[in-house]
Structure 1
Amino acid sequence: MSGLELGSTAPDFTLRDQFGQDVTLSGFRGRKAVCLVFYPFAFSGVCTGELSAVRERLDAFLTFDTEVLALSCDPVYSLRAFADADGLNFPLLSDYWPHGAVSRDYGVFDEERGCPRRSSYVVDTDGIVRWSVHHGLHEARDMDDHLAALRDAVRP
């Protein structure tokens, strides 16, 4: 699987969240490390389970020094319905248009399916990619690994 090289600068982006608000990755620079969670489809079984696992451990993901952003190619309105249905109270970002542009920049867009692959990145406070993991379409991620990588990105 492709993806970004560790130690490279994370491509900047601005995407709308489930409330229609712009979220810009570089807005966290100098303040927070960010865990980017690319997922294929809202409301699908594995994605719902993974994002519910983030919700259940949100206090660990969201500290003064860290943030979690979930990205899919679903439209904003679908993401709002998904967030409302499952109580997802963290940013769900829409890479809908231009379709998959950010997913492509991160090397995780599946051209056949028209969605991002199940991939994650941790970007440190300097905007550098410090960790990544890529899974198959039906293979759930381990959130303990994500939290450990995120904590490591903020350690001096």
Structure 2
Amino acid sequence: MRDLIAVGDLAPDFTLPDQNNRRVNLAALAADRQVLLVFFPLAFTGNCEGELALIRDREPEFDNESLTTVALSVGPPPTHKVWSSAQGFLFPLLSDFWPHGAVAQQYGVFSEQHGYPLRGTVLVDRDRRVRFSDVAEPGAPRDETVWERALSLA
């Protein structure tokens, strides 16, 4: 795992498919508003479900005129489609499936040992500069204060 992307760094651009197989591009999103990138290990797991449910349940804080939120993991779009439909996740779940975890690697949140991203949270501004970055230790849930700290900068 490389070092976590630092505040002030230029966020690497990417285009990934969402759960509906639509292509989502970071630069295009950031041109309109700030973007909160929420990396998660795997769909259909308890901690990930709880964290993304928090975003779903507090949608106006995570998707508004100044901020949009996308979640990223290595699962394929069909898996994300089934999971998002079952959980009512309306925000994009992006598939960093192939090359396996390439975007997570660029952001320094990919665990080579586990083969999936750790719980990384990165806020990107309209100039694609990183305003906030945090990653939980392997196996650890995201500290709930991470949401408040990231949202306070959005």
* TM-score relative to the length of structure 2: 0.93
**Aligned: 1:23 with 2:24:** yes
Q: Give 1:137 deviation, angstroms.
A: 3.5
For 2:12 and 2:127, the matched residues in 1 are separated by: 12
What is the SS of the residue equivalent to 1:20? coil
Q: Give 1:60 deviation, angstroms.
A: 1.1
For 1:144 and 1:27, the matched residues in 2 are separated by: 28
For 1:129 and 1:63, the matched residues in 2 are separated by: 19
For 1:59 and 1:34, the matched residues in 2 are separated by: 14
Q: Give 1:12 deviation, angstroms.
A: 0.2
1:96-140 per-residue CA deviation (whole Å, 9 max, x = no partner) reads 011111011111111111100111100011100010111124333
User: How many residues are aligned here?
Assistant: 153
RMSD of the alignment, in Å?
1.5
* TM-score relative to the length of structure 1: 0.92
Moved more, 28-37 or 12-21: 28-37
Provide the residue aligned with 1:55 in structure 2. Answer: 56
Moved more, 138-147 or 51-60: 138-147
Q: Counterpart of 1:126 in structure 2: which amino acid?
A: D
Q: Give 1:141 deviation, angstroms.
A: 2.4
Provide the residue aligned with 1:88 in structure 2. Answer: 89
Q: Counterpart of 2:126 in structure 1: which amino acid?
A: T
Provide the residue aligned with 2:116 in structure 1. Answer: 115
Identity of aligned residues (%): 42
What is the SS of the residue equivalent to 1:98? coil
What is the SS of the residue equivalent to 1:11? coil
Moved over 3 A (4+): 142-145
Provide the residue aligned with 1:71 in structure 2. Answer: 72
CA contact (8 A) 1:32 1:65 kept: yes
Gaps of 5+ in 1: none
1:120-139 map, 5 Å: 120-139=121-140
Q: Counterpart of 2:39 in structure 1: which amino acid?
A: F
CA contact (8 A) 1:46 1:138 kept: no
Gaps of 5+ in 2: none
Provide the residue aligned with 2:6 in structure 1. Answer: 5
What is the SS of the residue equivalent to 1:28? helix
For 1:120 and 1:49, the matched residues in 2 are separated by: 15
